Structure 1
């Protein structure tokens, strides 16, 4: 678990101040509690959607301005909820039950901020009096309900609407706080997020004050619907979680929203297409399958299909097409060793003396200068390769039978992307084995679906296209796909072949990443846990709120993949040799890092946006 320096500094300051005071006051909104909304005013959009009033936010803002005017005429120091709802059209105010519906929605959207809750509990453990001090038009009864719901009761509630004065104007609410506590100002510590109302005004009144600065959260700029405002707000909430690591937060903030929206689309599209079985293909489909099985709306049976482009291509390989498959066996092999190549094909290298006679050795690196030689060598290994292919074909057939797939069944072949090559290899392998009616379901593709359908003879459905992602951004997603794929992985290695076990069961031949000295499985599990917990939290809100929003989910993902922050570059860029097929122990292929601790092979096309950012950061550092 890595706690940010931002929060560590706050906690150290809090602990240093705590022995000097007898009471601690906490601001409520955006400090002790945060909303699962992208911005506070989005609550009015959610309320408007509930009421069927599209411009409710605008009407309520106008009513609040009139409420302030009445407050000033009456000589009062703060507005209250009645001031606002009295200035709404009567029918609208009645429909909103004079503010009761707004309070209910606020309670639904508010979550405890774990960072500040830790300080709350430390103060309580040390016997300090605790107060909630808030500039807010909501009634004090609302705050009592909030405290009871989350088991964080203070001894005192100082709410501006009840006290008739505020923190923000002249700090008068802090004067009431001192009187309520019976303490001198210097014996009170106040914690809050607003530099003026929570820090400057508190210090002007003689209190000690700490400025709480929330974690940064960068979101793509786009118009938000009520559903997307909630979904993005829930994504932001992950950044507040103390007991998590950065990979968990990445899974929660980016993987969770896109996984939820993608799953909803798969279910809807499969229903429209009359699909009988959904095939979630390894490894991309591991978590998709798990979450689909748990989903309340999963009406179509699904299975987890162990396989990959490699295993399906091997199963499709035979005497008649061997020569045309040799280029596939060498795809992505530039720079890896001959030994690496044979490991990923799943066959043993000949004796060193044989290799020597052929002018080869197991650690020779494959490149343009020797590729034709390696191709001829592979052709000479034809019997061994065909034997592995026959085993793969038998094993795949057995696996399909174990999954209870039947001839002619209409299936959705779910893969994250990107060119349909895995779907094509699967269908080639099925030929004369178990014909199925296959449609590919993809997050994104390298080109418009109709172009790939025409050139590859496939049926393809694309989430990005059908949910409004522009062709330009779809291409950017494809170019930076390595980062998107982080959210679609599994705790098991890549399946590169099949064998039949001693009892007739399918045995999966697996390929692991080479040249790695960190735990890829641990990174995957942490990301997947973040995704799972986001989906669980989102589903808990779904009975009352439409939280899944494809546009928000894709814009959120594109921010990470195409416009990453420096912190995201530092985290993701240090990953290397993530793809087993292209990995080798000879060097490291980083996502986006000019690491000096090891000789790495720069591959800017792995994450172009990341590499561009790394280069710009280096240029800034040199000036």
Structure 2
């Protein structure tokens, strides 16, 4: 018997249209015909479901590993198939039956089906996440519906028809078909051919007026033709190649950690109708920055679950995007686990700096931070950063032979070391200078504490503070502002990258850790992010202006968040740049969603994905193409911490991302030279 096979959808649909003219009924296979999976093996869903059950069990104090649960599932499914094989021609299984047994084996006898329903919902959500409709076949199915054909979807699978209907509905096809039929309901399948007489009787069909479309030469070709049903079989070579690539990367990943990230990104790729023309920045966000940021968020979640941290605060303007990425990644990757509660905290260096002095004063270490940016020069910059009025300090300055304009930064002309020594001596005056500092900054501290109390900050024993990086200045100021309170929680700073340009004052109650890069843990590849730190801030920038201050309100318990003006030239330039980067953020969020699904299926940890993240940093930050630099090169970076004074030291760097397009294209070995220069700096401890 000759089976009609087509190696492209277009030719199959073309012939199908001609054959359908003589048919009253058209039936379609579901998987690998109407819908394709991102994964090469349908069983890849099972370990993720086992991890979900293991996490649910752990929350109830039951210790069952996911491999044990997966083994139970496979054993119970096999047993049911053997039992049905004794009564029916097909060795079929039914999901609710054997998964109900798994639940009882793990959790004990159940009084209701609530847990089974939750488990089913999770597995079907995973299936929906990996299933994509074939565009041409879906369009043809809808066309057939308008012609008045009876349309059936028929599948040999362990999921009952009621479950399949949810998958078909998610694909947008349920309203166009008359029925969805599964072998799990009758244990009679297409594979033996018995399903076709059953359908004929159930729906009153005629074999000679019936067209069946599927992808299996036996179940969808030979068996229906044995009953006189016209059959078309799809043998899509391009789809087979895609699956073989995914399979190859997954096999490589078993022994080589580098390929774990590559396998993950293979599963993230858009398919069919998703694969449309996109803005180049969207593509860059999806392929490069989404894995970097989503991997970082996965690492944050792992750290919090491991350390039993139950509350996460996303920091500063970058935290706005990180919270959205968390919502896409964490619930998918850690389904079943009790994740920490998360919220976004309005903070900034400028707002926290005054509040940090209200009880601890302004010591030399924190005054030195002011002069890290080369644009800051004198005492007026100290006052600007720490929210101080300069005039009340005039007597203290005069006592130490200083003025508001005395140069205190070695980056500026007129600097004398003796003046810096005098300044440091002034900082040691507790009764005079420091008392005035505390008096002026106390209202900012009180407003901050009211804000934090409203955010339930002091009700926690441990909090994770998630930020982009780099020096940890925001966390430094925040912890200093709250350290006097007995109910201050332990602060666990989790940064995308910790460049640690200045030592961080770590204690058991105030710790800082760079997840993707940390200068204290040498990682040459990850240090590539130092080539352009500002770029990450610009990419992640929130749509709202930066926070300038915490201010007490008129009412007794109130406070106000004071944001930077959004109508000056600098702010408008920043807004225009953010608008330009909007496609980049859209790509990041779309990629994060796909990352969450792929990571849940593959089960790789952040540490196992780290080699691939390092590869992305190295290739896109240290060795990018000239076109990539020109597309996302820094254009507008607003830094209120940085003063406006002109300096002897050039304010612009001489790194790769500041070079001209001519140098980037025509200067041989430029990228290699600058990368190894950076490595030498790391080895020297800078």
CA distance, structure 1, for counterparts of residue 217 and residue 179 of structure 2: 23
* Cα offset, 1:305, TM superposition: 1.0
Q: Aligned in 2, Cα 1:578/1:24: closer, same or farther, shift over 3 Å?
A: farther
> SS of the residue aligned with 2:411?
helix
Are the equivalent residues in 2 in contact too, given 1:261–1:548 (CA < 8 A)?
A: no
Structure 1 residue aligned with 2:44? 39
Asked if residue 526 in structure 1 is aligned to residue 586 in structure 2, the reply is yes
Residue number among 151, 164, 168 corresponding to 2:188 in the alignment:
164
| Corresponding position: 1:329 with 2:380 | no
Say if 2:445 and 2:481, in contact at 8 Å, map to a contact too. no
CA distance in 2 between counterparts of 1:299 and 1:506 reads 26
For residues 200 and 566 of structure 1, the distance between their equivalents in structure 2, rounded to whole angstroms, comes to 53
Q: Of 282, 298, 322, which aligns to 2:316?
A: 282
Bigger CA drift: 74-83 or 451-460? Answer: 451-460
Residue 324 of structure 1 and its aligned partner are, at CA, apart by 6.0
Map of 2:388 onto structure 1: none
Q: Which residue of 2 aligns with 1:414?
A: 465
Question: Aligned in 2, Cα 1:269/1:252: closer, same or farther, shift over 3 Å?
Answer: same
How far the C-alpha of 1:20 sits from its partner, in A, is 4.4
* Contact preservation (8 Å) 1:236, 1:253: no
Paired residue secondary structure (1:443): strand
Change (3 A) 1:73 1:118: same
Which residue in the other structure is 1:562 paired with?
A: 614
Residue 110 and residue 375 in structure 1: after superposition, are their counterparts in 2 closer, same or farther (change >3 A)? same
- Kept in 2: contact 1:286–1:488 (CA 8 A): no
TM superposition shift of 1:258: 5.0
Deviation at 1:512, TM superposition (A): 9.4
CA contact (8 A) 2:323 2:344 kept: yes
CA separation of 1:578 and 1:150: change in aligned 2, threshold 3 A: same
> Would the aligned equivalents of 2:323 and 2:343 in 1 still touch at CA under 8 Å?
no
Return the index of the structure with the highest Cα Rg.
Answer: 2
Following superposition, the deviation at residue 304 of structure 1 comes to 0.6
Aligned to 2:394: none
Q: How many angstroms apart in 2 are the aligned matches of 1:478 and 1:119?
A: 46
The CA deviation at 1:301 is: 8.3
Q: Which of 81, 84, 107 is equivalent to 2:94?
A: 81
SS at match of 2:157: coil
After superposition, the Cα gap between the structure-2 partners of 1:81 and 1:422, relative to the gap in structure 1 and judged at 3 Å, is: same
Query: Does residue 375 in structure 1 map to residue 400 in structure 2?
Result: no
d(CA) in 2 for partners of 1:29, 1:156: 19
Hey, what's the Cα distance between the residues in 1 that align with 2:254 and 2:475? Answer: 36
Counterpart in the other structure of 2:510: 459
Distance 1:578 1:57 in 2: 51
Within the alignment, does 1:60 sit opposite 2:73 as a pair? yes
Match of 2:155 in 1: 134
| Superposed CA offset, 1:235-274 (max 9, x none) | 96785682885435777766457547747977998978xx
Report the equivalent of 2:542: 491
User: What is the CA–CA distance in structure 2 between the aligned matches of 1:177 and 1:594, rounded to whole Å?
Assistant: 70
Change (3 A) 1:195 1:435: farther
| 8 A contact 1:158–1:173 mirrored in 2 | no
Q: In 1, are the aligned partners of 2:317 and 2:540 still within 8 Å (CA)?
A: yes
Matched, 1:209 2:234: yes
CA displacement at 1:183 relative to structure 2:
5.8
Shift of 1:141: 4.9
- State the distance in 2 between where 1:292 and 1:40 align: 22
TM-score, structure 2 as length reference: 0.50
- Cα RMSD after superposing both structures: 7.5
Q: Flag structure 1 segments of 5+ consecutive residues without an equivalent.
A: 1-8, 224-231, 332-341, 347-372, 387-392, 539-546, 612-623
Q: Structure 1's 413 and 21: CA in aligned 2 closer, same or farther, altered over 3 A?
A: same
Segments of 5+ residues of structure 2 without an aligned counterpart are 1-6, 21-25, 256-262, 332-337, 376-380, 386-408, 424-437, 552-559, 640-649, 680-686
- DSSP-derived class of the 2:349 partner: coil
